[in-house]
Structure 1
Amino acid sequence: MSIQATLIKAVTRRTIKRYGLDEEQLVRHLRKVFNNSPSLTLMPFGVKLNKVNQPGFEGDRLSVSDPQMTVLYIHGGAYIGGVTKTYHNMAARLAKQLKGEVYLATYPFAPEHPFPAATDRVMEAYEYLLGLGKAPEDIVIAGDSAGGGLTLATLLRIRDQGLPQPRCAVTFSPGSNCFPEDSILDALDPSDAMLSADIIRTVIDIYVPDPAQRSNPYASPCLGDYSGICPLMITVSTDEVLYSDAKRVRDAAQKSGVEVEWLERGGLFHVWPVMTPLLPEARQDLKKVSAFIRRHG
């Protein structure tokens, strides 16, 4: 594990990880830490950033001059917060490596807009890209944490609505289960440097307040039938509370015959690939993500 990873883990444990917050306190806390991105944007040469504000899509577009591929990226933030600016460094490098473009989508947050508002908005974003004339085989859907869960939900919705699947999909530490096993969460809690078992349980109550909706595969994608879903890459740290969520998605997808590329690392933290270019492990693994995407052309 790199020195940078050790430092980031120390900082996130101090600034993000919390216990005992009620729903209102957790919303305030996570919006404070996730909506005020401290990261400095270091754009690689040849990548341009533009804002997009259209009826079907709001967010950012980072692109090379003649993009050959399109990534729809759904940011994380526990379905409660997050800003696209946090992802400019990673998205710009992904665009550069793929000779493509990355659309960073915004979506409505809980508790003001609980499930299924976010899934509806991401589905609109995919339809927006199809409406621009993007070929589905040139589109990749990707996301981290809550955005990983939304990515999986969108793949299931695309299939269920009879639309063409994208080329492939990538999820970093996807949140995918509204019915976590307490014993597993509690066992992983001490090693997770960012999220606590407490946070996960409270986020579920905030995002899907109606218990009857929690078994919907769009809310708990690990419960879905993945028949007909595109190839999928999953990255996860063995130290994080969402490790079991990622494994359940992998198992469900493989059971349905979906090709899954699995990348796990010990000693790292939740959604580490997002931390490029500052983190050496993120730089290494983003190249693996790009290779996975290129391979499925």
Structure 2
Amino acid sequence: MKIDPAIKQFLTEKILKVSFKAPSRMNLSPTFMRAALEQMSKVFPQSKNVQLRPVRIAGIHAEEIKPQSKSTQMIFHIHGGAFFVGSIKTHRAFLSEVAERTQMQVLHLNYPLSPEARYPDALDAIYDVYSTLLDQGVLAKDIIVSGDSCGANLALALCLRLKQEDLEMPSGLMLLSPFLDLTLTSESLRYNEKLDALLSVEALETGISFYLPKNIDKSDPFVSPIFGDFAGLPPTLVQVGSKEILLDDAKRFEDKAKEAGVDVRYKLYTGMWHNFQMFSPWFEEAKKAIADIADFAHKLDKD
């Protein structure tokens, strides 16, 4: 039986608010939240047209997703989860679809989570993985760095660090539902608070308290990369839903990046909540987001 799209969206948002958003406001342990998220992620269908291979790189457990035996282009994806949840398992289905649609190899990893590992451990690990890829002969022009939510924070912070250390930038950057300002000054945190079906301000505050030692300035560009110098960044795709509490993080990035001369493709998806791209099996706007990811990646490949 075919369900009316509006009813399907209404029901999905209700379920998400009860099963994920409401619990995220409670004082639940990271271990419990990680296990619960991995269980919830099993509802997402995984593409059968890709090959999965566990790898270890720079001491980090990672997974390689390949749509074909030979893929020269790589999407290096950093998962979200407010710095304390998320894993290879939670993002496998979404990234298998990205690999299938782009026909590019996807590498994603279990970087150190807080509170067991605090800033800058996650960023250091991601930097080490990227550096190791270059040392192994992967060309920077063949890498697209991608991240969702706090993973987009780490992806942008990685590029700022590469710039600081005069290392080669990737060919492109993809920021999906990005969480870029840990000072929590974006207005959409308030005006979209009731609209976002997935993410709560309380979850962000919990993640920040786990992630940051008390002596670290929240406005440091490697912590809140929205405050960084964007000159010299590679072409960047930004995706965000109109109902996201992080909507203004994405808008502010677009404005500042354009002022710095960055080639930015900003995409707003009507009626969508945080990390809506993961719901592409069921919603047209999310399907369009995956198609836009593929279009962006293919354009970089041609260039």
| Closer/same/farther in 2, CA of residues 4 and 20 from structure 1, 3 Å limit | closer
| Closer/same/farther in 2, CA of residues 3 and 104 from structure 1, 3 Å limit | farther
Secondary structure of 1:104 counterpart: strand
Secondary structure of 2:138 counterpart: coil
Give the aligned partner of residue 126 of structure 2: 122
CA shift for structure 1 position 132: 2.3
TM-score using structure 1 length: 0.91
CA contact (8 A) 1:10 1:193 kept: yes
Q: How does 1:237-256 map to 2 (within 5 A)?
A: 237-256=241-260
CA contact (8 A) 2:173 2:234 kept: yes
CA shift for structure 1 position 4: 4.5
CA shift for structure 1 position 74: 0.6
Give unmatched runs, 5+ long, in structure 2: none
Q: How does 1:259-270 map to 2 (within 5 A)?
A: 259-270=263-274
CA shift for structure 1 position 6: 3.4
Q: How does 1:1-297 map to 2 (within 5 A)?
A: 3-18=7-22, 21-22=26-27, 25=28, 27-28=30-31, 30-36=33-39, 37-45=41-49, 47-63=50-66, 64-181=68-185, 184-210=188-214, 212-297=216-301
Runs of 4+ with >4 A deviation: 1-4
| Closer/same/farther in 2, CA of residues 133 and 57 from structure 1, 3 Å limit | farther
CA contact (8 A) 1:31 1:82 kept: yes
- In the alignment, residue 262 of structure 1 is paired with which amino acid? Y
Secondary structure of 2:193 counterpart: helix
| Closer/same/farther in 2, CA of residues 183 and 62 from structure 1, 3 Å limit | closer
**Could you give the per-residue CA deviations for residues 120-176 of structure 1, whole angstroms, max 9, x where no partner exists?**
111112112212211111100111111111111111111111111101011111111
TM-score using structure 2 length: 0.90
Secondary structure of 1:16 counterpart: helix
| Closer/same/farther in 2, CA of residues 7 and 257 from structure 1, 3 Å limit | same
- Larger mean CA deviation between 253-262 and 87-96 belongs to 87-96
CA contact (8 A) 1:239 1:269 kept: yes
CA contact (8 A) 2:159 2:233 kept: yes
CA shift for structure 1 position 228: 0.9
State the percentage of identical aligned residues: 28
**Could you give the per-residue CA deviations for residues 204-251 of structure 1, whole angstroms, max 9, x where no partner exists?**
222213253312111101001111110111111121111111122222
CA contact (8 A) 2:58 2:129 kept: no
CA contact (8 A) 1:35 1:81 kept: no
Q: Distance in 2 between matches of 1:201 and 1:154?
A: 22
CA contact (8 A) 2:240 2:268 kept: yes
CA contact (8 A) 2:149 2:178 kept: yes
Give unmatched runs, 5+ long, in structure 1: none
Q: Distance in 2 between matches of 1:132 and 1:274?
A: 31
